[in-house]
Amino acid sequence: MPLRSPYRHEDDPTPSLTPMIDVVLVLTIFFMCATRFSGDERQFEVELPSVSAAAPVTAVRPELLEITATGEVQLGGELVTRDELSARLATLCNDRPDLTVLVRGDRAVSHGQMAEIYEACRLAGIRHVGISVASKAAGTVLR
């Protein structure tokens, strides 16, 4: 009686590439989505002020409000005037009561202009307003 089967070479285990391909595909999709969100904050060329310590915004997806050095205001990717800003924010706040607004103001924007922006947020009923700044220690942007 033979000890070896004539079909032994067909039963040898071979590595399967399917799980590795699945993992690579999932990681590719994850990184594509992650890089999409980081580009949302680069609409205007804004030089953020630096602070020594700050905490990141913990909101799921804050609404971006950007103010350039020239005073232009952009809400969620659209240019708005200061007169219509409060009305637009109120509409957003009615749709999402837990709305968080993240203000990205250029370093050159005056305190008075920023006070007008905060007043527009207050009049719209927004209770959570964050300020985007750059960290002095790490040189990174805190959102």
- Residue 26: pLDDT above 90? yes
User: Do 131 and 74 belong to one domain?
Assistant: yes
Q: Which of 126, 118, 123 is nearest to 99 (CA)?
A: 126
Picking from 33, 23, 42, 52, the residue whose alpha carbon sits closest to that of residue 133 is: 52
Residues spanned by the domain of 111: 45-142
Average pLDDT over residues 3-8: 58
Q: Calculate mean pLDDT across residues 23-48.
A: 72
Give residue 58's pLDDT: 57
d(CA 117, CA 88): 12
% pLDDT > 90, the chain:
6
- What's the CA gap between 102 and 130, in Å, rounded? 5
pTM for this model (two decimals): 0.54
Mean of per-residue pLDDT scores for the chain = 77
CATH number at residue 75: 3.30.420.270
Residues 25 and 58 grouped into a single domain: no
pLDDT in tens, 104-131: 888 888 888 888 888 888 888 888 888 8
Domain assignment present for 3: no
Return the pLDDT at 137: 65
> What's the pLDDT tens digit per position in 66-114?
888 888 888 888 888 888 888 888 888 888 888 888 888 888 888 888 8
| Position 11 pLDDT exceeds 70 | no
Position 27 pLDDT exceeds 60: yes
- Identify the burial level of 101 via C-beta atoms within 10 angstroms of its C-beta, where 0-12 means exposed, 13-18 middle and 19 or more buried: buried
The Cβ-side half-sphere exposure at 13, using a 13 Å CA radius, reads 2
**Is 129 a member of any domain?**
yes
60 and 112 belong to one structural domain: yes
